[in-house]
Structure 1
């Protein structure tokens, strides 16, 4: 018999070597997703993007959904239905339940959901966890929802969506606001204006009162007081201009900037 070989413990991370150590599925997915988003933002069609990237349009759509920049009624319905079932079911069961509920095939449902390996968060995720593009898309959806159904609840969704965004007052001073949560985890109906080191509160009732005083969406409002003698109207004026609810005089635009050209 030969000599007994000394035991050498396996080093951490040992095991079968990868056939393609340079291959990174997550990295490749992100690169494809970023490329698809860039082309989509330049207003190219799904078909054109697919031809540019060598992908079929369905995969392009799925990449854009994973990045949370693609919007359609079907995609939104599938996502909301799936997330509802996912609260009580595993992934595969939720797929089947969604397919049955919407009378779609499993493949169709899957094509409207983000890649499982992609960085994706549901529509209720905190804004700190989502990308700038996804946050912008969330604000767009909230505004679209309110314009099609102008209820107080939907307008509150717009206000929450713009929390943390930079605004400017009539005189050109920058500010942002925060919507805090109570002990129950629900948002309080009070905005906290962040100006330098100090914060000022702005009541939700004041925002609603100013909203009612807008005669026509998009019209020029000469000065903040034209929205009413309301506490905090200086900030409300800047918010409404950024929301696109009012326009401002040309001399004010020089100080406030154009909402579309202003940095996020």
Structure 2
């Protein structure tokens, strides 16, 4: 006679300590840490993986970008709104004339750890965070639009900046009751905090005549409230350059090494 099955019983895991999600994250963090100075093949060799898996790990971490990856993901998520994962892959493959394997190789892992660009920095590795900032700044410099500036400002919250005179500060953007970010930067300057309106930041952006050109002093960006902070932020983002004597104060102690 069969013994009744105990509640919660069943086949024991062969490897109870095995955690697929944890292992995937460890592989992803390792790939990201090597990505800056190595090719996909070099990373694959170092981690004993194939280059396609390395690329997929980097895509999952939000650290890899290319025109084809962006096209595949954009097309896939368009179909994913109304189709299952499998059908969306097939539709994407059909539209872009790619194989199913090619499409999935440019998509992040569905299970495990996917960190889109809006994920809190506390949940991603230092390497992934650095890559995220680098990509955002690169995009902003190429096309200094409000959308790209906002994306970069969000990513650089709580990062240390310096003013024209070399005083350190950081900022954060708070959320309203709806859970959405408010268009206001709260400047943390030692024990004091003051707000900086987004409209002021945009006004200064409009006064940047040429990306990367030297701006002698904050007031050259306009007679704007809080412009001394905007000046420091724009320098860090590479939207402006500053005179050598000012650069020395802003870069002292390596606090504002540009990403």
TM over 0.5: yes
CA distance in 1, matches of 2:32, 2:190: 36
> How far 1:202 moved relative to its partner?
1.7
Q: Runs ≥4 in structure 1, deviation > 6 angstroms?
A: none
**2: CA distance, partners of 1:130 / 1:145:** 21
Match of 1:160 among 154, 166, 180: 154
Aligned length: 257
Distance 1:11 1:205, change over 3 A: closer
Larger radius of gyration: 1
Whether 1:237 and 2:198 are equivalent positions in the alignment is no
Higher relative contact order, chain-length normalized (CA < 8 Å, sep 6+)? 2
Instruction: State how far apart, in whole Å, the 2-side matches of 1:190 and 1:27 are.
Output: 36
Query: Structure 2 vs 1, CA of residues 111 and 161 (structure 1 numbering), >3 Å: closer, same or farther?
Result: same
**Unaligned segments of structure 2, at least 5 residues:** none
CA distance in 2, matches of 1:146, 1:167: 18
Question: Structure 1 length as normaliser, TM-score?
Answer: 0.80
Query: What's the CA shift for 1:76?
Result: 1.8
TM normalised by structure 2 equals 0.81
Structure 1: 5+ residue stretches without partners: none
**Partner residue of 2:68?**
74
8 Å CA contact 1:66, 1:118 repeated in 2: no
In the alignment, structure 1 residue 255 sits paired with structure 2 residue 249: yes
Structure 2: distance between partners of 1:201 and 1:103: 50
Secondary structure of 2:173 counterpart: strand
Query: Contact 1:241–1:259 at 8 Å: present in 2 too?
Result: no
Tell me the SS of whatever aligns to 2:205.
Answer: helix
**Is 2:211 aligned against 1:217?**
yes
CA contact (8 A) 2:60 2:113 kept: yes
User: Which of 113, 123, 128 is matched with 1:119 structurally?
Assistant: 113
1:116-163 deviation line (CA, Å, top 9, x unaligned): 333113344455544444444333333333333333333333333323
RMSD: 3.1
